[in-house]
């Protein structure tokens, strides 16, 4: 593969709790097992002060990849057992179904009847850590992204506002460098799962944001590979 004219920037997303939804509807809030494109672009928009309704097509030239450095494991069984495989946590939130001075209150249904409590299911990742690679021929764009991630306009969070970052996404000296995502994400470490954007991907994920204000997305082809200390596998 020729990397002529290609640059990459690397971001660390780590925290006690993360959630990267891509199929959430109504009272079910899911999470992918790694950061989604919509979540990462949303985080970049927050760093750059780009409002929800603004044009985000400037990021279409950016290719993304994610390496799973520390996957999530179910907290209900200790010690953690990696052989059981990654599994999101699930929390339950209730709205309504109580009384206040003294009328009953709750969530009114679409037909106008009832004030029942609504229970929502919310999944999240626990103690996970990811390396996110951004690749583009536009080095100036990657440089602006890196600068704003170090000094963000708005608060950064890991998929939900209640989930802050545990470490800065970039170090003081981190800057875009020549090369591809594969060169960084697929080498130097052992047995790490890497999810890469690829036109020949074996599956698609509906998380390419077209407009956050209108909540419009399109499918994104991705492929899964594994890294080892000696290079690509």
> Is the pLDDT score of 116 beyond 80?
no
Cα separation, 132 vs 170, in Å, equals 11
Decide which of 132 and 1 is more confident.
Answer: 132
Cα separation, 47 vs 37, in Å, equals 15
Decide which of 78 and 164 is more confident.
Answer: 164
**Weakest-pLDDT range from 37-46, 48-57, 116-125, 202-211:** 116-125
Assess contact for 187 and 231: CB atoms under 8 A.
Answer: yes
The pLDDT value recorded for residue 105 is 57
User: Which domains, from first to last, does the chain contain?
Assistant: 7-75+125-232 (3.30.70.2660)
Q: Which of 28-32, 167-171, 188-192 has the highest mean pLDDT?
A: 167-171
pLDDT in tens, 63-106: 999 999 988 765 554 455 554 566 778 877 776 666 566 565 56
Task: Look over the chain and give the mean of its residue pLDDT values, rounded to a whole number.
Answer: 85
Angle at which helices 139-150 and 37-48 cross, to 10°: 70
- Is this prediction's pTM over 0.85? no
> Is the pLDDT score of 17 beyond 90?
yes
Q: Which of 42-51, 95-104, 199-208 has the highest mean pLDDT?
A: 42-51
The pLDDT value recorded for residue 30 is 84
C-alpha distances in angstroms, 46 versus 54, 157, 191, 224?
A: 12, 9, 32, 28
pLDDT in tens, 216-231: 999 999 999 998 755 5
């Amino acid at each position: 593969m020729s990397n002529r004219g290609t640059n990459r920037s690397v971001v660390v997303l780590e925290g006690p709790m993360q959630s990267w939804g891509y199929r959430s509807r109504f009272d079910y809030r899911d999470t992918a097992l790694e950061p989604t494109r919509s979540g990462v672009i949303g985080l970049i928009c927050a760093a750059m002060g780009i409002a929800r309704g603004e044009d985000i097509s400037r990021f279409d030239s950016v290719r993304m990849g994610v390496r799973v450095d520390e996957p999530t494991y179910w907290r209900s069984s200790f010690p953690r057992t990696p052989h059981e495989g990654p599994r999101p946590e699930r929390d339950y939130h209730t709205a309504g179904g109580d009384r206040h001075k003294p009328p009953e209150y709750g969530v009114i249904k679409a037909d106008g009847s009832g004030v029942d409590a609504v229970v929502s299911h919310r999944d999240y990742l626990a103690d996970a850590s990811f390396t996110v690679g951004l690749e583009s021929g536009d080095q100036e764009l990657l440089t602006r992204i890196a600068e704003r991630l170090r000094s963000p306009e708005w608060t950064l969070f890991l998929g939900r506002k209640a989930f802050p970052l545990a470490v800065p996404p970039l170090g003081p000296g981190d800057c875009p460098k020549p090369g591809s995502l594969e060169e960084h994400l697929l080498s130097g470490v052992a047995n790490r799962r890497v999810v890469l954007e690829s036109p020949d991907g074996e599956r698609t994920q509906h998380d390419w944001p077209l407009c956050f204000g209108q909540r419009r997305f399109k499918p994104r082809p991705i492929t899964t590979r594994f890294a080892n200390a000696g290079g690509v596998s």
